[in-house]
Amino acid sequence: MKISVVTAVRNGAASLPRMLDSLRAQSHDDLEHVVQDGASTDGTLDLLHRQGLACMALVSAADGGIYEAINAGIRRATGDVIGLLHADDVLADGTVLAQVAQVLADPGIDGVYGDLDYVARSDPSRVIRRWRAGPIVPGALARGWMPPHPTLYLRRAVFAQAGLYDTSYRISGDYDGMLRFLTTGQLRLAYLPQVMVRMQMGGASNRNFAQMIRKSREDYRAIRRHNVGGLGTLLAKNLSKLPQFWGPDEGG
């Protein structure tokens, strides 16, 4: 099973080496690394040419935002299964992609997701927030539940049938996409009860108060668009994050 890992990056030279090392450590060897660079100016391209994996397919071009870049990478991907790995993220251990392939050996499963750790930007060994997703249950979307997007791996056919990410969103295109996949697409997702990705804090969605307000507005737009709830769903989605800051090291 060929897995395409898509990385959309712009000026990510500082964090790319860790991400590349985590890909290089994977025991699953049928791998394609699709890198969509947004015309970086900080040495990202030189670093990728020096340290990129042999399976890397690199394109550098100006784009209109993160979701436009992700879509371009997905269109170029040739794998049976497609997932995302941003420059600030790392796969948690060397077995992650092998386990993705093992789960998706079942033709009745459309995709797989797992758990996520948010780590300090200044010290990636320090976990700040633990997102333990749990299996999807009836009514979960209306209660603000969603799988951690950085852990989501989907069959190529999902994107062919349900479409790519809506570029009219600047921050919440991933949430809108997942709601579409899970409602219109009626995906059958499997849950891996383990940390699949470690993600640095301080991304676009929580960089400052204005960005947080914009994200909430975009989240609400997606909720209404896909008829999964209303303001209560948005409130529940935001409140569900609070226990992740003091939850147990493992488990629920």
Strand partners, 59: 36
Domains and CATH numbers, the chain: 3-245 (3.90.550.10)
Token duo for residue 137: 């249950």
pLDDT of residue 248: 45
The per-residue pLDDT for range 86-106, each reduced to its tens digit, is 999 999 999 999 999 999 999
pLDDT of the chain along its 252 residues, tens only? 999 999 999 999 999 999 999 999 999 999 999 999 999 999 999 999 999 999 999 999 999 999 999 999 999 999 999 999 999 999 999 999 999 999 999 999 999 999 999 999 889 889 999 999 999 998 999 999 999 999 999 999 999 999 999 999 999 999 999 999 999 878 999 999 999 999 998 765 555 667 889 999 999 999 999 999 999 999 999 998 888 887 544 333
Give pLDDT, residue 31: 98
Whole-number pLDDT of residue 162: 92
Residue that the structure tokens 């790995």 belong to: 85
Eight-state DSSP code of residue 31: E
Is the distance from CB of 81 to CB of 177 less than 8 angstroms? no
Residue 249 confidence (pLDDT): 42
Please report the pLDDT score of residue 210 as a whole number.
Answer: 79
Confidence at residue 205, expressed as pLDDT on a 0 to 100 scale = 53
pLDDT given at position 204: 57
CA distance 6 to 201: 20
A 10 A CB-CB count for 210 gives 8
